[in-house]
Structure formats: structure tokens, C-alpha cells
Amino acid sequence: MSTVNEPIDFATIGDIFLAHGSLQAPAFLDGRLCAQLALADIDASTWLETVCATLGVEEPRSREDAEVLLEWRRRTEARLSAAEMSYEPLLPDELFSLSERAQGLKEWSQGFTEAVFEYDVEVRAGWSAPLKEALEDIEALVTIATDIEESSENENDLFALTEHARMAAMLLYTEQHPGEPQVEQVSSSEEDAQQTRH
């Protein structure tokens, strides 16, 4: 069975964690992964070592599990760097309760913020005002209430907070990787120009 074509969502990674005897939330590690890819990259082997350390094991129990964990990193990096800005945090979806989804966002924010604070202080001091403000907003999400009632209003509020965190993550990546999302756009423009000439 090919793992590359399988969906990699919160439940998929959560099942792998449980199979390794860990109750650690995937959202926390996803937050760290996102920030690390944006700030200084984290190669595949280091990422796998990080996940295994979190799970309390020396290595994944199967090659298939290892492939899924590595694909998690690859897809995250691809979506962070994509011109269409398609990155989505790995969070509980609508099959989970609002409280569980809020807890997921909280844990993702904890992981993301932790990784950011580990980064060079002098470099952080030189970041743009919009980025600093966005990161402060994510830091504030670490303290959000998670015991929330099921309602359309609360669901809309949680969606807005999640989208805010997503865009802050994208802002961090694009500011640390200037020009990357525009690479494909430039290529498209060149192709259009060539087609016009022919």
C-alpha cells in the first residue's frame, strides 16, 4: 500500500502515535515542525529522530509508519513554500468536538511558539512589525479556553483563530524565505511571454 497517496490528517498521525503507546498530541509537533521549517529547516532524518524521541521509541515500528511520518514533513514543507499558500496546520477536523479542536489549536500554538522562542534572539529582533504582531497573536492562542460549547458562533470564532494562526505561519515562512512563493509566478510570466512571441 502506498502511503504517499493516503491522506495525512490529524487522525492518521494520532493513530500512529497511539500505536507507539504515546498520548502526545500531533498538533504540538506539527506546530514545532512548521516553525522549524520556516526558521532553519529540519531535514528528514532529524525530523524522524524528533518524532521518535517524542514517542519514546528508538525507531518507528514499521517502514510504513516511517514513510507516513516523513511524508508529513515533506507535505508541510511543500505547502509552506507553495505559491498558492496552501499550508494548513495539522489539527482535529469537524469529526472532533469544538473543545477538542480548540485544544488542538492551543497545542499547535504551544509547539510553534516554543520553536520560535528557541531561535536566535538577534534575528527575531530584526523581524518586521507585522510578523512580530502575528507571532504575538499565536503566543496568545496558547492560553485560549478549550472548554467551549457547541455552537455556530463558537465554531466561526475557532475557524477565524485557526485561519489567523495559519496566516501567521505563512508570514513567518515567506519573510524567512523571500521570493520563494514568487518563483513559479515568474516562470509562468516567462512562459506567457514566450507563447506570445511564437
Helices 152-176 and 63-81: crossing angle in degrees, nearest 10, is 80
Q: Note if the pTM is more than 0.95.
A: no
Q: What percent helix, strand, coil does the chain show, rounded to 5?
A: 70, 0, 30
Average pLDDT score over the chain: 87
Task: Give the model confidence (pLDDT) of 12-36 as tens digits.
Answer: 999 999 999 988 889 999 999 999 9
User: Cα-Cα-Cα-Cα dihedral of 172, 81, 37, 4, to 10°?
Assistant: 140
Reply yes or no on whether the pLDDT at 192 is more than 60: no
How confident is the model at residue 180, as a pLDDT?
Answer: 61
Residue reference for cell 504582531: 133
C-alpha–C-alpha distance, residues 165 and 17, integer Å: 24
Reply yes or no on whether the pLDDT at 162 is more than 80: yes
C-alpha–C-alpha distance, residues 24 and 32, integer Å: 13
Q: What is the mean pLDDT of residues 157-171?
A: 95
Q: What is the mean pLDDT of residues 104-132?
A: 93
Reply yes or no on whether the pLDDT at 185 is more than 60: no
Torsion-angle region of 21 (φ positive above 0: left; ψ -120 to 50: alpha; else: beta): left
Domains of the chain and any CATH numbers: 10-191 (1.20.120.740)
C-alpha–C-alpha distance, residues 185 and 98, integer Å: 38
